[in-house]
Structure 1
Amino acid sequence: MAQQMTHATGKRKTAIARVYLTPGDGRVIINRKRSLEEYFPREAHRRAVLAPLALTERLGKYTVKVTVKGGGPTGQAEAIRHGIARALVEEDADLRPLLKRAGLLTRDARIVERKKYGHHKARKSPQYSKR
């Protein structure tokens, strides 16, 4: 019998993560070759990635393979977190209320606002001169 693999997509800002969960030894492989510690040197990013597994008490039970692109480190870490949470729900629907309550299934829709013409940035206008 072939191993059961669950697939889900997570998004945050401009980062997109494709997550594959297989029953395994708890390793996290990012972009085919790099480990979690190698890809995310910051502890906060590693904690964010593992949050759904820690919350559902499944930390050493799955091998997580991730392909992530776009955005910066924080956006990528949170996109992976979103993808893992969605994959866990696909695997076991009973986890949905727990993950939903923790806010891990909600797509964070905040993205950078575009720059408008006549402005220095998205909202900053040139200094107003009365005369």
Structure 2
Amino acid sequence: MADLSSLKDLAPASEAAAPVYVRKVDSLGRSYATGKRKNAVARVWVKAGTGKITVNGRDFSTYFARPVLQMILQQPVIAAARTGQFDIVATVTGGGLSGQAGAVRHGVSKALTYFEPGLRGVLKKGGFLTRDSRVVERKKYGKAKARRSFQFSKR
């Protein structure tokens, strides 16, 4: 019985080792993160400002013309209730527009958690910090596409 009581004393020490998230900001007051989706990679910088969002040197509403893509881009900021408080600068390469919007969203979410670690719980619950790993399946030899077979001909 004495052995079990000594183990009981050690238990709270292991529970107290929860990860502590620290603010990561560079000398210019910006936090940086990389976001990915499909084949698109976004480099995102977040700093305190007026709410201006720039993607590849252009305003995000001109770069992502479809309202759905604009909405995807703004989701993490709206979920964190920080609309109009951060300037976001992003450079995106690869993939199509939808993948790029998802990559920027992922990058903005990560950069917000680096800038303000208290937002991690809200963004994690919204699913913005999880990298969507779905990518296009490669084409296999002997197939028309990834899985589609060539048309069967009896004669």
Q: Which category of TM-score, normalised to the shorter sequence, fits these structures?
A: over 0.9
1:97 to 115, 121, 134: 121
SS at match of 1:64: strand
| Alpha-carbon separation, structure 1, partners of 2:50 and 2:119 | 20
Runs of 4+ in 1 over 2 A off after TM superposition: 127-131
In the other structure, the counterpart of 1:8 is 33
The one-letter code sitting in structure 2 at the alignment partner of 1:36 is F
* TM-score between both structures, scaled by the size of structure 1: 0.93
What is the SS of the residue equivalent to 1:68?
strand
Three-state SS of the structure 2 residue aligned to 1:65 is strand
How many Å apart are 1:29 and its aligned residue? Answer: 1.0
Q: Separation in 2 of the partners of 1:125 and 1:7?
A: 45
- Give the match's secondary structure for 1:60: coil
* Unaligned ranges ≥5, structure 1: none
| TM norm structure 2 | 0.79
The answer to whether structure 1 residue 17 and structure 2 residue 42 are counterparts is yes
Counterpart pick for 2:142 among 89, 105, 118 = 118
Please say if residues 3 and 23 of structure 1, whose CA atoms lie closer than 8 Å, have aligned partners that are also in contact. Answer: no
Residue-pair matches, total: 129
AA of the residue aligned to 2:56: N
Residue by residue over 1:22-56, the C-alpha shift from the partner in whole angstroms, topping out at 9 and shown as x without a partner, is 11111011112x10111011111001001000111
Give yes or no for the alignment of 1:29 onto 2:54: yes
Q: Are the counterparts in 2 of residues 14 and 75 from structure 1 also a CA contact under 8 Å? A: yes
